[in-house]
Amino acid sequence: MRESLYSPTCNNSLSFVPINRARKISLNNTMKLLIADDNEKMRTMLKKLVKGLADEIVECNDGKEAVAMYAKFRPDYVLMDIQMKEMDGITATKLIKQSNPAAKVIIVSNFSDQKFRNAAGNAGVMGFVPKENLLDVLNFVI
């Protein structure tokens, strides 16, 4: 697998670094995942990608709904798009992190220039994966 993951660095920007994460198991020994993306086909692809890893997957199509779903569902990981209707993924991430600073949000987006990586890093994401490198999502959740 290519080393193309973005991870926060000490200055809150995101840059290319190799990552090896251990799978987090919740207290009931299941992994829960929230997928927030306004593109139904992308949500379906992400669900197929993590199907064997996550025991429970919920999805929504905007950031506002993602914040509400996070509060209700308390997933181990959130896969969040940046540009969505109602509320963008950066704003949603900030609100999720305000409610739970330990929340594990991974941005999965077509927007991968430095401006978006910096905004994501400042919001507190654990990683940033360009949509063209979807398989790299697995490095965060396994």
Give the pLDDT confidence of 84-142 residue by residue, as tens digits.
989 999 999 999 999 999 999 999 988 878 898 899 999 999 988 888 777 766 666 55
The predicted model gives 62-66 an average pLDDT of 96
Which amino acid appears at position 131 of this protein?
K
Structural domains in the chain plus CATH codes: 26-141 (3.40.50.2300)
How would residue 9 be classed by pLDDT, with cut points 50, 70 and 90? very low
**Could you tell me the CA-to-CA distances from 81 to 11, 29, 44 in Å, in that order?**
22, 27, 13
Three-class secondary structure of residue 112 per DSSP: coil
The average confidence (pLDDT) of the chain is 80
Specify the pLDDT at position 58: 95
* Residue 14 DSSP class: E
Question: What three-state secondary structure class fits 100?
Answer: coil
Exposed, middle or buried by CB within 10 Å (0-12, 13-18, 19+), for 85? Answer: exposed
In this structure, which amino acid lies at residue 82?
I
Q: Is 49 helix (H, G, I), strand (E, B) or coil?
A: helix
Q: Which amino acid is at 133?
A: N
Please tell me whether the overall predicted TM-score, pTM, comes out greater than 0.85 for this model: no
What is the rounded CA–CA span in Å between residue 61 and residue 43? 9
